[in-house]
Amino acid sequence: MRQLCVCVSVLLALATMAVARPKEGPEQKCKSGPVDLIFIIDSSRSVRPHEFETMRKFMIDIIHTLDMEANATRVGVVQYSSQVQNEFSLKTHGKLQGMVKGINEIVPLAQGTMTGLAIKYVMNHAFTAAEGDRPKVPNVAVIVTDGRPQDRVVEVAAEARDKGIEIYAVGVARADLTSLRAMASPPIEDHVFLVESFDLIYQFGLQFQDKLCGMDLCLESDHGCEHLCESSPRSFHCLCLPGYTLNEDGKTCKAIDLCAGGKHDCEQICIPSPGTFTCGCNTGYTLNDDKKTCTTCRSANIDLVLLIDGSKSVRPQNFELVKQFVNQVVDSLDVSAHGTRVGLVQYSSHVRTEFALKMYEKTDDIKKAVMNVEYMEKGTMTGLALKHMMENSFSEAEGARKNIPRVGLVFTDGRSQDDITEWAKKAKEEGITMYAVGVGKAMEDELREIASEPLDKHFFYTTDFTFINQIAENLKLNVCAEESQGEIEVKDPCACESLVEFQQATMSTLEQLKTKHILLYTALVH
């Protein structure tokens, strides 16, 4: 009685489906993507000839709705009774006509019902590479039977499912529901189908097509998409990550190079990344705040004081290289009264200002003065030099300006003979950007103590004086990057702050004139 109720419920559901679903014409193919499909059909003696013909038509109707191209659906047919017979394998027919012909030529075996044996054959033989099974392509088996199996199906069906075979169990008339449920893949309600007669089996074809075409082919097939796969009804298509575009093969992706396409507005260098870009500058230039245009270091306005080691360990020939190093740095700057100012201090056992910040306003004059510097050739009082720089070199009396970045550069070739800690700390505390350049026997710890953070931009060392020209090149870039960031205060005469200052100055002048005239008037009266 319970089985009869189930049958009635299924029939009612099928009737509703038949009314709601428009019948598909033969031209409407299911774009299911790659699927390897095996029909396992019961040809036992209980299946009457006209019923077998209905089953034959059922298979033909299903394959007419599927995409039978070489890379899409492959179909094989196995019939069973007391034995199993392979009618044609997955690799036998590449076209629909051949499959239809093969199905029409099937001769029923008309013996017992060894369903378990049939499942085992399909698992071990039909779904193999030798018979046309493809790797990473879904394996689907549709079992159609009208009776109870004469052998065990539970274990072999479980083994087949574990190997990735999706099993649909279709029962007709006298089929045993318990056995159908034991064979089918989960969820049971989607894979078990029981009808009262073979005449109604075509309804399973409609449901099966919906299930097959409703596969998430991105998950259940080897889609071949390089980046992303997006499922769609009965198909899928490939997508690319942001910044990439799909190649003509519809599978692989290539980066969108906006630099090559001329879709950038970088003044000098365009650095591509997928779908975007950043701008860069040539050597000797730095990127401006709008991140597109470039300027040379000559746009940097700084007050720069260089402290050069004149101790005897440097030696005369190397001291000439030090002077060339200084001039190489000067060449990269915009020296003028309102641009960059340069001061030079030499130190050994004592400290001497070679020229102050305010002394020269032209590059050539500074370079000439540098080459005329006489070598001291005594001790190494680096701490005393830092103290002199703080107390004298960066004073307004020697030409240091307000609101202009202050940069100190210490050049040494050995250990300091006095303590540098106090004045190195004070220099940085007062906002002076400190660079430390060491050669030969210079102490790395001292150089690090002098240099500002980050150290990789402010600390330089080489073992040989002949390589300090390269340091000058690197230093030029860092000075540009660190010091030309618009820190100079240039007031707009029309700005509100400037107007207020003008007003205050004017009022003060008027007040002074008023007081002066009142005093003068009082003196005349008396």
CA dist., res. 106 & res. 436, Å (int): 93
Q: Could you tell me where the beta strands, DSSP code E, fall in 433-518?
A: 433-439, 459-462
Mean pLDDT of the chain: 79
Report how far residue 383's alpha carbon sits from residue 362's, in angstroms, rounded to the nearest whole number. Answer: 30
Q: How far apart are CA 147 and CA 159, in angstroms?
A: 22
Contact 379, 347 (CB under 8 A): no
Using CB atoms within 10 Å of the CB of residue 194, give its burial: 0 to 12 exposed, 13 to 18 middle, 19+ buried.
buried
Q: Which of 8, 34, 37 has the alpha carbon at shortest distance from 205? A: 37
2-6 long-range contacts (CB < 8 A, ≥24 apart) are 3/177, 6/177, 6/194
Q: What is the predicted pLDDT for the residue at 76?
A: 94
Torsion over CA: 364, 369, 375, 376 (sign): negative
306 neighbors 411 (Cβ within 8 angstroms): yes
Cα separation of 331 and 434, whole Å? Answer: 20
Q: How far apart are the C-alpha atoms of 79 and 83, rounded to whole Å? A: 9
User: Residue 297 carries which DSSP code?
Assistant: G
343 beta partners: 305
Beta-strand relationship, 253-255 and 244-246: antiparallel
Give the up-direction half-sphere exposure of residue 472: CA atoms within 13 A in the CB hemisphere: 19
Task: Tell me what the mean pLDDT of segment 47-74 comes to.
Answer: 81
Average pLDDT, integer, range 209-228:
71
What is the average per-residue pLDDT within 348-367?
A: 94
**Which residue would you say has higher pLDDT here, 210 or 330?**
330
Q: Which of 112-116, 397-401, 432-436, 480-484 has the lowest mean pLDDT?
A: 480-484
Rounded Cα distance, 289 and 481, in Å:
11
Question: By CB neighbour count within 10 A (0-12 exposed, 13-18 middle, 19+ buried), where does 448 fall?
Answer: middle
Closest CA to 156 of 117, 113, 184: 117
Work out the angle between the directed axes of helices 363-371 and 316-331 (0-180°, nearest 10). Answer: 170
Whether residue 291 contacts residue 359, with contact meaning beta carbons closer than 8 Å, is answered with no
Distance separating alpha carbons of residues 132 and 294, to the nearest angstrom:
64
pLDDT one-digit tens code per residue, 452-500: 988 888 888 888 887 787 787 766 645 554 443 333 333 333 444 444 4
Higher pLDDT, 484 or 135: 135
Please tell me the distance from the alpha carbon of residue 460 to that of residue 437, in angstroms, as a whole number. Answer: 5
Could you read off the pLDDT of 412-442 as tens digits, one per residue? 988 899 999 999 999 999 999 999 998 888 8
* Range 206-213 average pLDDT: 63
pLDDT at 504: 52
- Residue with token string 């003068």: 520
Selection from 490, 480, 492 nearest residue 299 by Cα: 480
- Residue that the structure tokens 């003696």 belong to: 45
Average pLDDT of span 321-343 = 88
Residue 60 has pLDDT above 50, yes or no: yes
Q: Is 9 helix (H, G, I), strand (E, B) or coil?
A: helix
Amino acid type, 398: E
CA–CA separation, 53 vs 45, rounded Å? 14
Average pLDDT over residues 311-324: 91
pLDDT band at 198 (very low <50, low <70, confident <90, very high): confident
Question: How many other β-carbons are positioned within 10 Å of the β-carbon of residue 460?
Answer: 24
Residue bearing the bigger pLDDT, 13 or 369: 369
Express as a percent the part of the chain with pLDDT over 90: 36
pTM of the model: 0.40
Instruction: State the Rg of the chain over Cα.
Output: 46
What does the pLDDT average to over 311-328? 91
Q: Say if CB 291 and CB 277 are below 8 A apart.
A: no
Of residues 427 and 1, more confidence is placed in 427
Assign 525 a pLDDT band (cuts: 50, 70, 90): very low
**Higher confidence at residue 501 or residue 69?**
69
pLDDT of residue 353: 96
First-to-last alpha carbon distance for the chain, in angstroms, is 137
The answer to whether the CB of 109 falls within 8 A of the CB of 43 is: yes
Instruction: Tell me what the mean pLDDT of segment 183-188 comes to.
Output: 88
pLDDT tens digits for 231-262?
Answer: 765 567 889 888 888 998 888 998 888 888 66
